[in-house]
Amino acid sequence: MIGFYFRDAKLFGFLTLLLSLGCCYSLQATIRYNVSLAHPEQHLFHVTMTIPDVENEVFIQMPAWNALYQMRDFSAHIQQVEVRRAAVQPEDDAGHAVIAPDTEPPSIEKIDKLTWRIKSHGGDGTINVRYAIYWDEPGPFATQLNGEHAFINPAMILMYVPERRSEQVQLALGDVPESWNAAGPGIQGLEQMDRARQFSSTFADYDALADAPIEAGKFEQFQLPGMSPEVWVVIHGDSYKKKQIETELKRICEYEIKLMGKAPYWRYTFIVHTGKTAAGAGGGMEHADSTAISVLSPESLPGVAAHEFFHLWNVKRIRPATLYPIDYTKEQYTRALWFAEGVTNTYGSYTLERSGLWSKQQLYHDLGEQITELEARPANRWQSAEQSSLDAWLEKYPLYQNPEYSVSYYSKGQILGVLLDILIRDRTDNAKSLDDVLREMNNDFGVSGKPYRDSLDVQLAAEKIAGGSFEDFFKHYVARANPLPYQAIFVLAGLELRQTSRQRAALGFAADGALKGPLVVRSVDANSAAAEAGLQTGDLILKWNGGEPPRRIADWLRQHKSGELLHLVIRRDDAELKIDFRLGEIAETFYDLAEYSRAGEKARHIREGLLHGTTDAATLRATN
Ligand SMILES: [Zn+2]
Ligand SMILES: [Zn+2]
C-alpha cells in the first residue's frame, strides 16, 4: 500500500482520529516518523523516528545521496541525535516517557559519517530517535523549510534502519502552520487537531516514502480535467495561468499515455514551483507517481513536464539494473543514463511536437541546439555516452561540467535516440520505430519489474524490433566516442544538418545566481583574459560595469563585442576587489536541421512518421 488519498477531508479526519487513538506504539510493528514543522523560519525539521521490535541493538542510517547523482551526505545537516525508550504509558506533561526509574536508558553511538548504533538495554523494544535537521535549499533536488513553505525530499530528512528498509513505514507531518496545506503523492488529506495540524500517510517501504516528495505551504491544487487515472497539479508560485497549465499538461500526459499504452499509476501529482518561489534552483525530478518541477517562468513548464512524465516509464519502471536496488550510502555506477535521461529527452521533444505544443520547426531547432551543444565540447572527441553516464557522479564539481571535461548524456542521448529511431524506421520500411522499442522494453522490464542490463538490453530490444544487428551502432556511438554520422542518417529521414559559424564575444568565465543580487563565478577558462586579470571560481560578482550583474549572460554577450572592457567588482572572502579585462572572442558553430527538398518517398514517410509518432504498419492497421 503506497499512501492513502482521502479527498473527503471529513472522512480523512475520522480515519486519522482512529489511527491516533490506536497509536500505542507497542501495538504497531511499523517504523513511524513524526516530523514537526513548528517555527518553520528556523529551517529545522524536528524528527521523531519510532522503531519497534528492537532486540538489543539496531543501526540507523542517513542517506548520503538521493535524487541527484551526487554524494551530499545529508547527515551533515543533523543536530543532536537522542534516543529514548518509547512511551508505553502516557507521556508526562513535558512529553517525557514515564518509565520505571531503575531501567537503564537506551544508548546511541556514532559509527561512521552516516550511521549510528543504538543499544536498547532491555525495555519493551520500542525506541524513539529524536533529532533536528536543517534545510533551506530551494529546488526539486533539495529540501527547504522557511516561513514561505516546506518542500521535502523525504530521504533528505529521514533516517532508515538498513536491514528493515523493506518494511512498511508511517509518516506524520505535524505542527503545520494554520494557513498552510500539505500535498504530495503520499500525503493528501488534512486534519485540524486541537493545536497541531497534522497530515499522515503510510508507505509500502522506506524507498516508497523516499520517492514521494511533499509540499506544504499556500499553494493552489487542481485536477487535470477528464483524466483517468487522476492527475493533480500542486502549484506554488505567482503569475501563472491555471487554464494554460491545465491545457498543456493534459496534452502532454494524454500523448505519452497513448504512446506507451497505459498510465502506470493510479494517481499522479505534479508539484510545481514557478516565479519567485523557483528562484535559486530550477529543474525537475521524477518520482514513482509524481514529479517536482521548479521553473522561473511557466513558459518553461511544458518542456520539463514532458521529460519528467515520460520518466514514469523510462527509469521509474523501465529500470537499469545498475541503479537498483538503491544503495543510499555510495555511488551507483551506471552506463545507462544516455538512455534513461537522454532518450527521455528524445521523447520529451517528440511529445511537445506530436501533441501540437511545438511546431515541427521547433523540434528541428531543438535537435540542432543539442547537436550544437554536443559538438562544441572538446570532450566529445573522447568521452562516450556511456562514459558520460558513468561519470555522472562528478557533476557536482563545476570544473567537470566545462566543455573540456565532459559531454552531457542528456544531449548526446537525445541525439542517439533520434538517430536510432531513423535507423529502425529505415530498416523496417517505416513499419517499426523507437516507440516500439520503448513499448517492448516496458513490457519486458517495466511491467515485469525486472531491471534491464543497461545498453545491452536497449540494443537487444532495438534488434528484436528492427531485425538485424545494431552492434556497430552501439559499439561506435554509445560505448565509444566515434563522430556521429549525422548526414548519413538524417538523409534517411529526408533531413539535412546545416552548419553555420559565427565569431562572438566571450566572457572567459561562467557565472550564475538567483533572480537578484550577486552572481557566483562557477568556472574560469584557463587561457582567458578573465583568468589573467585574476578572476577566480567562487568569486561573488557584486557590480558589472557599475550596475547589477545581468541575469541572462548569453543575451548580454550578444549585445557586446570582443575587445570591449568589462569592469567587475567582486567579493572574495571579506575583501572587495576590482577586476577589469577585455572580452575575448570565440568561433561558434551552430547546427540546424532542415527538410531536404529532394527527399525520396521512403525518406518522406520516415520523416512524417517521426513527426507524428506513427509507422506505416500502424497506419495500415488503422485503416484495415
Ligand atoms: Zn512551495
Ligand atoms: Zn530526467
Q: What whole-number distance in Å separates Cα of residue 206 and Cα of residue 60?
A: 13
Ligand nearest to the CA of 67: 2
Whole-number Å distance, alpha carbon 95 to ligand 1 midpoint, is: 31
Residues with Cβ within 8 Å of 615's Cβ and at least 6 positions away in sequence, in order, are 425, 428, 430, 431, 432, 433, 435, 436, 609
pLDDT of residue 215: 97
Radius of gyration for the chain, computed over Cα atoms and rounded to the nearest angstrom: 27
Burial zone of 290 (CB within 10 Å; 0-12 exposed, 13-18 middle, 19+ buried): buried
CA of 336 to the centre of ligand 2 (A): 12
What gap in Å lies between CA 222 and CA 231, rounded to an integer?
Answer: 9
Let me know: does 547 contact 566? Beta carbons within 8 Å. Answer: no
* Segment 512-520 mean pLDDT: 82
What would the pLDDT profile of 101-129 be if each residue is shown by its tens digit? 567 899 999 999 999 999 998 877 899 99
The Å distance, Cα 388 to ligand 2 centre, comes to 15
For residues 228 and 253, give the distance between their C-alpha atoms in angstroms, rounded to a whole number.
11
Alpha carbon distance 613, 61 (integer Å): 46
What is residue 20's predicted lDDT score, i.e. its pLDDT?
A: 37
CA 271 to ligand 1 centroid distance, Å: 8
Upstream peptide bond of 229 is cis (omega within 30 degrees of 0): yes
Which ligand has its closest atom nearest to the C-alpha of 314?
2
Burial 342-359, CB ≥16 within 10 A → b, else e: bbbbbbbbbbbbbbebbe
The rounded distance, in Å, linking the Cα atoms of 567 and 544 is 6
Q: Which ligand minimizes its atom distance to the CA of 309?
A: 2
547 C-alpha to center of ligand 2: Å? 37
The answer to whether the CB of 237 falls within 8 A of the CB of 277 is yes
Closest of 260, 262, 254, 248 to residue 227, by C-alpha: 254
Set of cell numbers at residue 74: 545529508
- Separation of 340 CA from ligand 2 center, angstroms? 7
Phi, psi of 497 (to 5 degrees): -95, 120
CATH architecture, range 9-217: Sandwich (2.60)
Q: How confident is the model at residue 23 (pLDDT cuts 50, 70, 90)?
A: very low
Q: How far, in Å, from the CA of 284 to the mean position of ligand 2?
A: 7
Judged by its nearest atom, the ligand closest to the C-alpha of residue 214 is 1
* Higher-pLDDT residue of 588, 20: 588
Residues in CB range of 134: below 8 A, 6 or more apart: 43, 44, 45, 77, 79
**E strands present in 359-425:** none
The answer on pLDDT for 193 being more than 60 is no
Starting from the CA of residue 310, give the closest ligand: 2
* Residue 58 cell numbers, joined: 539496531
Per-residue exposure over 413-441, b if at least 16 CB sit within 10 Å of its own CB, e if not: bbbbbbbbbbbbbbbbebbbbbbbbbbbb
Output the CA 575–ligand 2 centroid distance in Å: 40
CB 99 within 8 A of CB 64: no
Looking at domain 313-491+599-624, its CATH superfamily turns out to be: Neutral Protease Domain 2 (1.10.390.10)
**Which ligand gives the minimal distance to the CA of 308?**
2
Cα–ligand 1 centroid distance for 211 (angstroms): 17
Mean pLDDT for the stretch of residues 129-134? 98
**Residue among 297, 188, 309 at smallest CA distance from 250:** 309
Query: How far is the centre of ligand 1, averaged over its atoms, from the C-alpha of 218 (Å)?
Result: 7
Q: How does residue 97 score in pLDDT terms, banded at 50, 70 and 90?
A: low
| Ligand whose nearest atom lies closest to the CA of 278 | 1
Q: Which residues pair with 232 in a beta bridge?
A: 223, 269
Q: Which residues contact 195 (CB under 8 A, 6 or more apart)?
A: none
For range 348-356, the mean pLDDT: 98
Q: What angle do CA 445, 433, 460 make, to 5 degrees?
A: 45
pLDDT greater than 70 at residue 16 = no
Q: If you write DSSP's letter for every residue of 171-217 in order, what string do you get?
A: EEEE---TT-EEESSS----EE-SS-EEEEEEESSHHHHHT--EEEE
Q: In the chain, what are the domain boundaries?
A: 9-217, 219-311, 313-491+599-624, 508-582
Q: Is the per-residue pLDDT at 89 higher than 60?
A: no
Identify the nearest ligand to the CA of 182 by its number. 1
Three cell numbers at 162? Answer: 538498513
Give the ligand at the shortest distance from the Cα of 343.
2
User: What pTM was computed for the model?
Assistant: 0.85
Calculate how far, in angstroms, residue 216's C-alpha sits from the geometric centre of ligand 1.
6
How many Cβ atoms from other residues are within 10 Å of residue 577's Cβ? Answer: 15
What is the chain's mean pLDDT, rounded? 90
Q: In the predicted model, what is the mean pLDDT of residues 365-394?
A: 97
Topology of the domain comprising 508-582 = Pdz3 Domain (2.30.42)
Question: Which ligand approaches the C-alpha of residue 392 most closely?
Answer: 2
Cα 154 to ligand 1 centre (Å): 15
pLDDT of residue 86: 84
Start-to-end CA distance of the chain, whole Å, equals 43
Cα-to-centroid distance, 279 and ligand 1 (Å)? 11
Q: Quick one: which ligand is closest to 218's CA?
A: 1
Position 154 pLDDT exceeds 60: yes
Ligand closest in space to the Cα of 213: 1
Highest mean pLDDT among 20-29, 159-168, 188-197: 159-168
* Topology of the domain covering 219-311: Zincin-like (3.30.2010)
